[in-house]
Structure 1
Amino acid sequence: MSKKSSTMKKILIPLFIVIILAASGFYYVYSTYLGKINTVKITKNEEELQIQPVVADKSKDIINIALFGIDTRADDYDGSRTDSIIIASLDLSHKKLKLSSIMRDSFVSIPGEKYDKINHAYEVGGPELTVKTLNENFDMNIKDYMTVNFSALEEIVDAVGGVEINVKDYEVDLLNKTSGSSSVGTGVQTLDGQQALAYSRIRYSGDADYERTLRQRTVLQSVINNVLKSKSLPQALSLIEILSPYVQTSLDQGALIGLGTKVFSAGGITMEDTRLPVDGQYIPGVWDEVFYLKYDTLSENVSYLHDFIYEEKGYVPSPAVEEISNTILSTVSKN
């Protein structure tokens, strides 16, 4: 399987595990299937995780978890770069599930290392260093993660009866060509698993990689909505069985049960999504023969992110973020 074809598959699985568990509502499922998930703990020390005091006590009703997708074998999580990075935020106060994509070419400070693409952090320091990188650069308070390296998006989409997607005219040819189909047209279409994967892989059409992240989040939201509406135990069991062997996480069974229960008990969860860097607030280019997205400015992007996640307008980034922001800008002229 190619790297491109597995990118969308890898970002979906972690969130599915939590949502599917919530939808099933049967606790015996947890012990039966979650034992297959590889649990790897990371430090919970806030200082070690680069969590700034100003954000350490952010609203307890908002739970942030880092979702990572990597390109590697099913039994090997080490030494890989993240193809996909998403901050999943469960907002219990407003009954929202928010997905924030961080572009993998984002130029950031990697704690203890150097300024580089954010997807380099996983290669040199695994999930713990990547969590630290997210916290340091974006004033986040993330303490847990989920990583996936392979999945079966086609089977997942087919298991929930397909996904409804509003297909644009410039996406049709690439979607049909990649999926080997000729039946998809423009407008709202019900895509099967193979077609949904092809849709999520479209990169060289529209707004390139930026729009691809939007397609990925669109498919993700459609599948989750289908799962929440169905509440089918057989469907939940089938999906958990497919997904659980391919997940590594810092969350143990009890924590996963807790998350699932919170989603289920909240009721009426709506979904929102965004991406960083924000349009018009980044500088793409090649520095030292490497392509980067440099934030212009990181501080403004962080303020936007906190408005999105915490619904807190006028957030003033920490001095640490301001320093990183200024450092990034100082490198722009060296193109």
Structure 2
Amino acid sequence: MKSENRESPLENKVDIKEKSSLAAPYKIIIIAGALIMAVLTGLYIYYIKTYEELEYIEIPETDEELGITEETEEVINIFENNKSIINILLFGVDKRSDEETGRSDAIMILTIDPVHNTIKLSSLMRDSRVSIKGYGEDKLGHAYAYGGPELAIHTINNNFRMNIRYFASINYGGLIHVIDSVGGIYANIKEDEIEMVNKYTNDTAYVEGMSYTPITESGYQLLDGVQAVGYSRIRKVGDGDYERTQRQRIVLSAVIRKLTDLNIVELPGVIQDLAPNIQTNITSNYMLKVGTSILNAGIKDIRQARFPSDENSHGEIMNGIWYLVFDKLKTREELNEYIFN
């Protein structure tokens, strides 16, 4: 007797086709997932190898050794977004040999604010008269020469009531390579800057054993690495060290914009040029956090400021040495407000 519920061969074939067509997308997903994992693994291995090329400098991590006080934490905790803010001290170091510690010719706080999609560059005037542990009152720029990044971080945290734990230092030679690797940067050269740009470009090229092309006219123009570093070093043109820090911010912000505009194909080559020229205490995990914050937020807005401000500082000669004397309380309030709010 025939079973009334028996399925015909045709019906069985249809089921098999349907099952095959349903299985196909899952196979594609599995293959795509495997490819993505392979790419991510490759990128991670490349990232770790590149990170190993950085010159990692281990410094103390306790609040006391970094110059971070309870008062600082209490003040900063007032700001709602303080936990989201990433602050890194950047030092542009002028050193003529590998044996030198060098002087911090440029001192900036790089602030990454993923909440407001903003990067901030805060220049700290190197001639600011501050208290340096073990050395008394002296110029801020001398702290790095006296005790490297460790003493410089302690000095900045202690005098400006900050809680910065990470730094990155780059010398002029390294900065030249980074600027060249991103295709140069644009800057507006003033007529009265041309002579000094060429003077410092010549000096930089001589120290680094490189050739250079003199700038012959004023105006907005593309600068290569040697020219850009020469431009950032100009002194005694315009408003002295005030305009000098402005030029340094112009160069660094232009580099940051170039880096954030790079596509994934261009990035590895630039990273390879960048890594060997940097000293830092940033761990690989924290570096991933910083990079992820910038990429996820799509940060393009770069703001700039200088501290101490004109309103809260004045020049003064003490024992034949010129210092920038400033109101520490008001400057701390200004800096914290600018960075954390």
TM-score where L is the length of structure 1: 0.76
Distance 1:125 1:173, change over 3 A: closer
Q: Deviations over 1:69-112 (max 9, x none)?
A: 3333664464x432221111111211111111111111001134
Distance 1:222 1:143, change over 3 A: same
Question: Are 2:223 and 1:191 aligned?
Answer: yes
Residue of structure 1 aligned with 2:297, choices 252, 257, 266: 266
Aligned residues: 284
The aligned residue for residue 28 of structure 1 is: 45
Question: Are 2:183 and 1:161 aligned?
Answer: yes
| Residue identity in the other structure for 1:288 | N
TM-score where L is the length of structure 2: 0.75
Question: How many Å apart are 1:174 and its aligned residue?
Answer: 3.5
Question: Are 2:309 and 1:287 aligned?
Answer: no
Distance 1:176 1:50, change over 3 A: closer
Question: Are 2:239 and 1:207 aligned?
Answer: yes
The whole-number CA distance in structure 1 between the counterparts of 2:54 and 2:63 is 25
Unaligned 5+ segments in structure 1 are 1-24, 312-335
The aligned residue for residue 115 of structure 1 is: 137
The aligned residue for residue 240 of structure 1 is: 271
The whole-number CA distance in structure 1 between the counterparts of 2:159 and 2:304 is 20
Question: Are 2:102 and 1:85 aligned?
Answer: no
Residue of structure 1 aligned with 2:259, choices 217, 220, 227: 227
Q: Deviations over 1:23-67 (max 9, x none)?
A: xx9433321211121222222222332223243263111111112
The whole-number CA distance in structure 2 between the counterparts of 1:286 and 1:104 is 15
Question: Are 2:161 and 1:139 aligned?
Answer: yes
The whole-number CA distance in structure 1 between the counterparts of 2:226 and 2:171 is 19
Residue of structure 1 aligned with 2:331, choices 284, 290, 301: 301
Runs of 4 or more above 6 Å deviation: none
The aligned residue for residue 43 of structure 1 is: 60
The aligned residue for residue 321 of structure 1 is: none
The aligned residue for residue 326 of structure 1 is: none
Q: Is the 8 A contact 2:194 2:215 kept in 1?
A: no
| Corresponding residue SS for 1:151 | helix
The whole-number CA distance in structure 2 between the counterparts of 1:41 and 1:152 is 20
Unaligned 5+ segments in structure 2 are 1-41, 202-211
Query: Which of the two has higher C-alpha Rg?
Result: 2
The aligned residue for residue 91 of structure 2 is: 68
Question: How many Å apart are 1:184 and its aligned residue?
Answer: 5.0
CA-based RMSD of the aligned residues comes to: 2.5
The aligned residue for residue 278 of structure 1 is: 309
